[in-house]
Amino acid sequence: MIGIVSYAVYLPSYRISREVVATAWGGRAQAGQKVVMRYDEDPITMAAYAAWQTLASLPDDRRATGALYFASTSMPYWERLNGSVVAALCDLRASTFVADFGGSLRAGTSALWAAADRLSANPDAAELAIVVAADAREAEPGSAEELSFSDAAGAIALGSRDLIAELLSRATRYDDFFESARRDRDEFVSTYEGKFSTERGYLRSLRAVIQQVLEQSGVTAGDVAKLVVPAFEKRSYLLLAEKLGFAANRVQNVTWDNLGNTGCAAPLLLLSAALEEVKPGELVLCAGYGNGADAFLFRVTDRIADFRPRVGLSLQRKNEIHYKTYTLYRKAREYRHSHKDGLELTNIFYNKEEAQITRLHGTECQHCGTRHFPMVRVCAKCEQSDNLLEVALQRTGTVFTFAVDHLAASPFPPTVMAAVDLDGGGRIYCEVVDSEPEAVQIGMPVELVARRLREGGGLYHYYWKCRPRRDA
């Protein structure tokens, strides 16, 4: 039997109300808000957080990973394996199978399908297959899409032992029908919304795969505790549920007003949300849609009671930071496309540095136990040089001291820089993000987050920042 071992989500901390967006363009206010990434985030950084959290929620001895599938329709790189950046940020070993899945809004469930194939082919393997989907789709400023698109990531770790939910059945179909598209030369997504798109596309494909998995498993809609489907607007997913005979209270709320349309991340993100609420024995049906549909039926096991995501969705819904004006939001969005600071790093430099800057490895002195970041040859404490070992450093710590710096170059000054003493040892120097500057204090517990730090030479340069620990 294969199934779900762990799950996680990532919601950026920043929000903008739809009213602020709509009225900036002279439109009618809409309810709710968008979830938006900071200017230093992208699908790789969001995916890295969610993928890492699927591991961080498991004990050390159950984290061995054999594959990582990264799904996104808004990959930072057209050429360079995006998933390899995510895998390296998660410090996965070189023998891990890594692949990018894109192209469709069901890329997340397509990746889940591929992971299930891998595990089905070798159901005795102890290693996990992490599926992570992240999207930060660009909508044309002033468009209807701009009001609904949100940025987020969801991740599911599949495995063959210690399952919290067993995979009972799955179904897929493709359909060369579209209600959204973005060509190689387009900056923004084009959509064809309306009744026809909903009926011909969304309802037809999803009904087919959902009915198929129910039939394959010999269950009915009434047996399913949670129906998890993405939504591209407020109502059609409820209409779908109704047509299939699912009671409204069995449908996972997509929380349209607070979350909006999170692209290909939506099915995995909503599945994670559903798993936070289900009980042993319950059936969960999760489907993805886009140029066809995928559906998966899971049965929750007794182990669900013992599993707790380290930073669940509810924790990430707190600590919201709001862009007060559309201009500030737009500035953050544009900065990502316009900012190139000219830092050119060669692959020779990166090759030497990857272990520390991407994998967060340091050295540990075997004489006195002191840990160092970056990796050093001579211990700062006992000054021995003969026995320092490379170790993976912990990604949580506390602020030892900090500065709120108005002089440092930033699109949104001031920059808060901190010396962070990592749990287990090692001191790192990094920016404090996702917090009001006034809230930063000595002794504050923080977690490290990978961010897009600089850009130049045709590359994004990822590095670590920190933010207040969401689970503290």
Nearer to another protein, 247 or 378 (CB): 378
Is residue 126 within the footprint of another protein (CB under 8 A)? no
Is residue 17 within the footprint of another protein (CB under 8 A)? no
**How far apart are CB 13 and another protein at their closest, in Å?**
19
> Residue type for 234, please?
K
Q: From the list 174, 177, 178, 400, which residue makes contact with another protein (rule: CB under 8 A)? A: 400
Total residues in contact with another protein, by rule CB under 8 A: 39
Binding flags for another protein, 317-356, as an x/- string (CB under 8 A): --------------------------x-x-------x--x
Is residue 19 within the footprint of another protein (CB under 8 A)? no
Is residue 142 within the footprint of another protein (CB under 8 A)? no
**How far apart are CB 327 and another protein at their closest, in Å?**
23
Q: From the list 144, 221, 404, 459, which residue makes contact with another protein (rule: CB under 8 A)? A: 404
Nearer to another protein, 145 or 364 (CB): 364
**How far apart are CB 466 and another protein at their closest, in Å?**
12
Is residue 408 within the footprint of another protein (CB under 8 A)? yes
Is residue 172 within the footprint of another protein (CB under 8 A)? no
**How far apart are CB 14 and another protein at their closest, in Å?**
20
Q: Which stretch binds another protein (CB under 8 A): 47-55, 98-106, 139-147, 404-412?
A: 404-412
Q: From the list 194, 280, 281, 414, which residue makes contact with another protein (rule: CB under 8 A)? A: 414
Is residue 415 within the footprint of another protein (CB under 8 A)? yes
**How far apart are CB 374 and another protein at their closest, in Å?**
6
The encoded tokens of residue 53 equal: 């959290």
Q: From the list 72, 272, 370, 398, which residue makes contact with another protein (rule: CB under 8 A)? A: 370
Q: Which stretch binds another protein (CB under 8 A): 5-13, 222-230, 273-281, 412-420?
A: 412-420
Nearer to another protein, 27 or 411 (CB): 411
CA distance 410 to 257: 31
Is residue 375 within the footprint of another protein (CB under 8 A)? no
Q: What is the 3-state secondary structure (H, E, C) of the chain?
A: CCEEEEEEEECCCEEEEHHHHHHHCCCCCCCCEEEECCCCCCHHHHHHHHHHHHHHCCCHHHCCEEEEEEECCCCCCCCCCHHHHHHHHCCCCCCCEEEEECCCCCHHHHHHHHHHHHHHHCCCCCCEEEEEEEECCCCCCCCHHHHHECCEEEEEEEECCCCCEEEEEEEEEECCCCCEECCCCCCCCEECCCHHHHHHHHHHHHHHHHHHHHHHHCCCHHHEEEEECCCCCCCHHHHHHHHHCCCHHHECCCCHHHHCECHHHHHHHHHHHHHCCCCCCCEEEEEEECCEEEEEEEEECHHHHHCCCCCCHHHHHCCCEECCCHHHHHHHHHHHHHCCCCCCCCHHHHHHHHHHHCCCEEEEECCCCCEECCCCCCCCCCCCCCCEEEEECCCEEEEEEEEEECCCCCCCCCEEEEEEEECCCCEEEEEECCCCHHHCCCCCEEEEEEEEEEEECCEEEEEEEEEECCCC
**How far apart are CB 363 and another protein at their closest, in Å?**
11
Nearer to another protein, 325 or 401 (CB): 401
Name the residues that contact another protein, by CB under 8 A. Answer: 343, 345, 353, 356-357, 370-374, 380-381, 400-408, 414-415, 417-419, 421, 425-431, 442, 453-454, 461, 463
